[in-house]
């Protein structure tokens, strides 16, 4: 393994309480980020660990996460002879893996201040699902009935770096999956998983997670800003509430029912149980919405919108689809953004999505557990290492109804 640039940094041992504090006491700085680049051509690995700036992210709500690293090139061959598009990138902090993906673009610039500057940017492996069509000369038409979620997803992972699926509270039933020419692999999988109230995302180890976020897990710690108690352990907290655009009355109907209003029984209507929309409804602020979906086993299937059914018990199938839509909308009810120094919590664990933290922010009138669905890691010469964590209220993103 060759190293483009390097510097020595003391290590804290393992993931343990106080590990990060010990490292800070010994070195006076956060653990350094290291980028390992595996060449598809030479099969060699290069390491970069001194940067002008970087930015990379991981989010459940963005299918393909991205990265960008800027650094001063060392003496030696030009950048394109060392790093090329398609090379595999692994990002680590103190030997803990944070991200993996591939290089999409390389940039080289020479100026009077820095001399030669280099930048590499790219995405995680889900980007390949975004780029590849489901039907092409190397990806033949695939259709299967009565297959598991894992088998259905596996159909579309050929020709990608995604070779391991981790099921996260995914349903155990058997389903139909199909595709059309012109659809990307990501579009097919999102449509299929949408029908069983699931999502997909790549974790920090490069595995494709398929299923439902875990909003019942224990807290990883507390983020606090309290003016009254004069206490803080973060750089900033921002709380945004925006419930006026979230439906608080939902009318779900099967396709065809919407043609004649009196075909829709009033019993199909229900209210959004989330606090913000429910509060507005009590105050007389009404935002009704109608959600239309194709009836399963309908006499006139409408293309591929009917690839699956979401049966959760007699009379609740239509409600299940509508609740899924409300869960997505409820992400906006309370959004919390926390900026902290470094990329590790007090346990020495890297910040990552699909985790829970307690938010204690008196000026934002918020003291409760929140679900972290996105983390952005950044560094520049002025601000140092920062992590920006984005939270929503538990119960958003997917509904509480699980497909069979």
Strand-pairing partners, residue 291, are 252
Pairing of strands 334-341, 236-241: antiparallel
Please tell me the predicted confidence (pLDDT) of residue 61.
93
Positive or negative CA dihedral for 98, 101, 105, 106?
positive
pLDDT value of residue 23: 63
Local confidence pLDDT in tens for the 404 residues of the chain: 444 443 333 333 344 444 566 666 677 666 789 999 999 999 999 999 889 999 999 999 998 999 999 988 777 788 888 899 999 999 998 888 999 999 999 999 988 876 888 999 999 999 999 999 999 888 777 788 888 999 999 999 999 999 899 999 999 988 888 888 889 999 999 999 988 899 999 999 999 999 999 999 999 999 999 999 999 999 999 999 999 999 999 988 877 665 666 667 777 888 999 999 999 999 999 999 988 877 655 544 444 444 455 655 445 777 888 899 999 999 999 999 999 998 998 888 899 999 999 999 999 999 999 999 999 999 987 778 999 999 999 999 999 888 77
**SS3 assignment, position 104:** strand
Distance of CA 386 to the CA centre of its chain: 18
The residues with which 239 forms a beta bridge, in sequence order, are 336
Q: Which residue carries 């700085």 as its tokens?
A: 29
Query: Residue 363: its pLDDT value, please?
Result: 94
Judge whether 304 and 360 are in contact, CB under 8 Å.
no
What integer pLDDT is reported at residue 273 of this predicted model? 92
Confidence (pLDDT) at 306: 47
pTM: 0.87
42-48's contacts with Cβ under 8 Å and 24+ in sequence apart are: 44/1, 44/2, 45/1, 45/2, 46/1, 46/2, 46/3, 46/4, 46/82, 46/83, 47/1, 47/2, 47/3, 47/4, 47/6, 48/3, 48/4, 48/5
Q: What is the DSSP letter of 343?
A: S
Question: What is d(CA 259, CA 249) in angstroms, rounded to the nearest whole number?
Answer: 20
Whole-angstrom distance, CA of residue 347 vs CA of residue 21 = 9
CA atoms of 207 and 230, how far apart (whole Å): 42
| Whole-number pLDDT of residue 80 | 84
pLDDT for 166: 96
**Contact criterion met (CB below 8 Å) for 84 and 106:** yes
């Amino acid at each position: 393994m060759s190293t483009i640039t390097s510097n020595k940094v003391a290590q804290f041992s393992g993931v343990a309480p106080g590990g990060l504090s010990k490292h800070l006491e010994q070195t006076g700085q956060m653990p350094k980020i290291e980028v390992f680049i595996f060449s598809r051509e030479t099969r060699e690995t290069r390491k970069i660990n001194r940067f002008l700036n970087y930015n990379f992210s991981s989010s459940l709500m963005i299918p393909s996460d991205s990265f960008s690293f800027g650094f001063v090139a060392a003496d030696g061959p030009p950048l394109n002879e060392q790093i090329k598009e398609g090379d595999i990138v692994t990002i680590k902090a103190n030997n803990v893996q944070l991200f993996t993906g591939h290089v999409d673009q390389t940039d080289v610039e020479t100026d009077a201040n820095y001399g030669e500057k280099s930048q590499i940017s790219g995405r995680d492996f889900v980007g390949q699902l975004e780029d590849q069509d489901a039907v092409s000369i190397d990806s033949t038409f695939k259709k299967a009935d009565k297959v598991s979620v894992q088998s259905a997803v596996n159909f579309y992972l050929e020709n990608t770096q995604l070779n391991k699926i981790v099921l996260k509270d995914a349903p155990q039933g058997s389903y139909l999956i199909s595709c059309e020419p012109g659809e990307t692999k990501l579009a097919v999988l999102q449509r299929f998983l949408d029908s069983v109230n699931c999502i997909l995302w790549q974790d920090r180890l490069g595995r494709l997670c398929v299923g439902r976020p875990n909003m019942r897990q224990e807290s990883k710690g507390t983020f606090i800003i309290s003016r009254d108690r004069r206490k803080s352990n973060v750089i900033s907290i921002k709380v945004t509430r925006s419930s006026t655009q979230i439906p608080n009355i939902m009318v779900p109907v099967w396709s065809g029912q919407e043609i004649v209003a009196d075909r829709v029984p009033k019993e199909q209507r229900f209210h959004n149980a989330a606090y913000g929309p429910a509060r507005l409804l009590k105050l007389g602020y009404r935002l009704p919405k109608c959600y239309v979906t194709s009836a399963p086993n309908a006499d006139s299937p409408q293309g591929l919108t009917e690839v699956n059914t979401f049966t959760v018990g007699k009379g609740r199938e239509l409600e299940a689809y509508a609740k899924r839509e409300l869960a997505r909308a409820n992400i906006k009810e309370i959004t919390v953004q926390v900026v902290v120094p470094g990329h590790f919590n007090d346990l020495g664990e890297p910040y990552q999505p699909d985790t829970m933290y307690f938010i204690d922010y008196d000026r934002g009138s918020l003291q409760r557990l929140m679900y972290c669905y996105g983390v952005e890691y950044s560094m520049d010469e002025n601000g140092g290492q920062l992590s920006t964590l984005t939270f929503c209220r538990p119960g958003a993103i997917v509904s509480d109804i699980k497909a069979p």
